[in-house]
Chains A and B, each alone.
Chain A
Amino acid sequence: MSLLSCTGLTMRFGGLAALNKLDVHVEEGDVIGLVGPNGSGKTTFFNVLTGIYTPSEGRIVFDGQDITAKTPQEICRAGIARTFQRSRLCLELTVFDNVMMGNSKNLNLGFWHNVIRRKAFFQECRDDEARIRLMLKALNPTLADKIRKPVGELSMIDRRRVEICRALTGRPRLLLLDEPSAGMTQDETRQLMDELVAMEFEGNRPSIILIEHEMSVIKRISTRCIVLNFGRKLCEGSYDEVTSNPVVQQAYLGTEVV
């Protein structure tokens, strides 16, 4: 059984179908590159998956559980985490706080635990800080020392790293990366991808869906590609199959004029 299967997923905004009868299946361990021109519905697909939008039609089953009309909180608890195309970190909070935000589904938020008897809370704090330090270190050694700095003081690439850590800290089964290269130079992107590939994921590597315009990134890390255009799936297959497909070339480059 697939980890994630979306069948006939449709999302309409008024007369516009941002997603049109989309079928996507993700297996355990897949790294799927989701590509397509601007406005083809990639981010909408993520927003529907994470419950920000409720799909007009279709069904989403994740890990045997129907999550079609669930709230973002419930979907997060089911084990899907994401990053955002435009960084959505809380700039005035520290790196630690931002990363812990991603782990909030596992935190004890009770009044007694947090305010009255604080001993266990402080122990948790220390453990989590050590864990997050390791995680940041695994991604980039210099980042671990900035754990108590506000995110607003970090560079763009560091912010991306923090975002990825935030998505990973809740130990998701499926990770959605929305254009991690946005706003970075090619070198920075390459570096970030190196780090991501080398990452150990604390022993449980999530499946990944990656939206990316930088085709070299897709080529490097994806096991399978899906091409969207006008909310429909144009084609699906390995990187080479997809890039040599004339339909895809047409969608990206237009028709050849003779």
Chain B
Amino acid sequence: MDRSREIFVCLLSAMALLVFSVVFLLAEDETVIGSYMVGGAVLLWIMVRMGVYEKVITAVSHHERLWASLVFIAALILLFFFRDNHYCLFLVGTIFCYTIAVLGLNVQLGYTGVINFSAASFFGVGGYTAGMLLNQGLVPPFAAFILGGVMAGLVGCVLLLPVLRTSGHYSALVTMAFALLFNVFLEVNESFGGPQGIAVPSFSLFGVDFGSDVEWGSITGSFYLRYDLFILVFLAIVFIMVRRVERSWMGLAMDAVRLDETASACFGINIVRWKVTAFTMGNVLMGMAGALYAMMLAYISPANFTFSDSLLFLSILLLGGMGNCWGVLLATSIMVVLPEKLQFIQEYRYLLYSLLVLLMIVYRPMGLLPRRTRVVTSEDVA
């Protein structure tokens, strides 16, 4: 395909995605939601079978910068469209926060192969740190947001020793144990609000309180709009950073550690250094995302950060495609929105959800967007 056609494909698919997201988020009637889902799945299936899907992805990957800007603009349009819809804005904000957290998990597991079954716990560490600090009035909200990440990184250091000394299943068990312990710790600890949780004051930046509704000239909107915009900008920064890490010598070292520790060691790659770097980097991202999420939610409890949430984060990564940042964004959107839209089938939605995961493992084991071969020297990089 020539250049102009590829750019046209990028534009077209960004617009299609935007329209589909708006329509899907607006749908409330169960038959309509059901038909959108079936329609979307059938369309995707046809595209995969006809080879169009692969072509579109190739076209997009050739113009990643353009595509990234298009997605950013599409997100802005989406936010503007839903400016007074609390519920949809909250969903979009949740998607953004989760995406940041899963990008952190992607650095750990997707790049470096460090397994982490306690992603939601680090998410929670960030949230609780921000909440406690703000409740005490110790620091301004922006500092609480940063410190949420720092704290998650520090708590991660406690886990470092067992994680580094074990590998594979054992390492997974260590982090599982941590996830369960973290939850129990929060539930029994009265100073952290116990099972009821704590209220979290709203975020503010340059004297603008994020807790009040938006009034910008003639534009009025939900207070979630400010959160979403701020989180979107932060997400964009994180996304570019994580993507750059991948296409750098750091990413190369991380890949080498994941793929072959012995060979890496024989070529002078310090395995411990890269595992620690990836683990801490991921945890800090999760913590910062958690802090923002807590402030947006205004109220957090241990039930927000359970082991099954950690599993959700992991399944997002698997669904999207290990190591692929775009896959993370796509899969988070699906995994956050679907359960919300499927409330009408009540608890059966978990059945559907498991079915989806099973189908994925059978038919697309590498995820919706498998990671592409990294070409470090390519210069069209975000």
Contacts and interface: CB of A to CB of B under 8 A. Distances in A.
B259 to A, nearest CB: 4
Nearest to B255: A93
A101 B376 contact: no
A82 interface: yes
Interface string B84-105: 0000000000000000000000
A232 to B, nearest CB: 26
Interface string B237-275: 000010011001110110110011011111111100000
A12 interface: no
Contacts of A150: 373
B244 A115 contact: yes
Contacts of B364: none
B262 A52 contact: yes
Chain B interface size, as a band, is 20 to 34
A102 B376 CA distance: 15
A101 B377 contact: no
Contact of A101 (B248, B256, B379): B256
A84 B263 contact: yes
Nearest to B250: A114
A211 interface: no
B374 A114 contact: no
A96 B268 contact: no
B249 A121 contact: yes
Contacts of B379: 122
Contacts, number: 105
A107 B259 CA distance: 19
Given A109-B253, A114-B249, A101 B265 contact: no
B158 interface: no
Contact of B244 (A90, A114, A126): A114
B375 interface: yes
A101 B373 contact: no
Interface string A88-100: 1110111011001
A82 B266 contact: yes
B369 to A, nearest CB: 15
Given A90-B255, A90-B259, A114-B248, A170 B373 contact: no
User: Across chains A and B, which 10 residue pairs bring their CB atoms closest together, nearest first?
Assistant: A105-B268, A76-B268, A114-B248, A72-B265, A90-B259, A88-B263, A107-B249, A115-B244, A114-B250, A125-B377
Interface of A: 50-52, 71-73, 76-77, 81-82, 84, 88-90, 92-94, 96-97, 100-105, 107-109, 111, 114-115, 118, 121-122, 125-126, 129, 148, 150, 166, 170
Interface of B: 241, 244-245, 248-250, 252-253, 255-256, 259-260, 262-270, 373-377, 379, 381
